[in-house]
Amino acid sequence: MLTCICEEFDYRNEFFSARNVVARKNHHCCECGKAIEPGEKYEYAASKNEDGFFTAKTCLLCVQIGAEMFPCSYQPGKLWDKVHQEFCLWDGIEEGDDEFFCICPPRKPRES
């Protein structure tokens, strides 16, 4: 396991719950966009904070990557934003540069 390189996580939730479940229908990973097929395990996370209620469905590979890279601050749905913030910006890599796409998948537009 990597030593956490990120700042201390300080986001206040009224509650947070995450559990592994088996898909009964098609979903998409909130991190990488991969299809989660019926019968496949994924993590379902739900929380509520001052901004409202939040849910995320994450493939187990992205959950593992988040837990390994950011053990003290991984938030479902923000993995690749965090990777970009912690790694790409250090070296002056900008989205659109060839180096960025070597380590980060293209960002999906955020739903409003």
The residues with which 17 forms a beta bridge, in sequence order, are 46
Structural domain tally of the chain? 1
Is residue 76 assigned to a domain? Answer: yes
Torsion angle, CA of 9/12/16/20, rounded to 10 degrees?
-20
Of the listed ranges 25-29, 30-34, 90-94, the least confidently predicted one is 90-94
Give residue-wise pLDDT tens across range 51-110. 889 899 999 999 998 888 888 777 788 888 777 777 665 555 555 555 444 444 554 544
Whether pTM > 0.85 for this model: the answer is: no
- Per-residue confidence (pLDDT) for residue 27, from 0 to 100: 96
Is residue 6 assigned to a domain? Answer: no
Nearest to 24, CA basis, from 1, 42, 7, 11? 42
- Per-residue confidence (pLDDT) for residue 93, from 0 to 100: 56
What range does the domain containing 47 cover?
15-103
CATH of the domain at 60: 3.30.1740
Nearest to 82, CA basis, from 66, 97, 96? 66
- β-strand pairing of 52-59 with 41-49: antiparallel
Is residue 111 assigned to a domain? Answer: no
Is residue 4 assigned to a domain? Answer: no
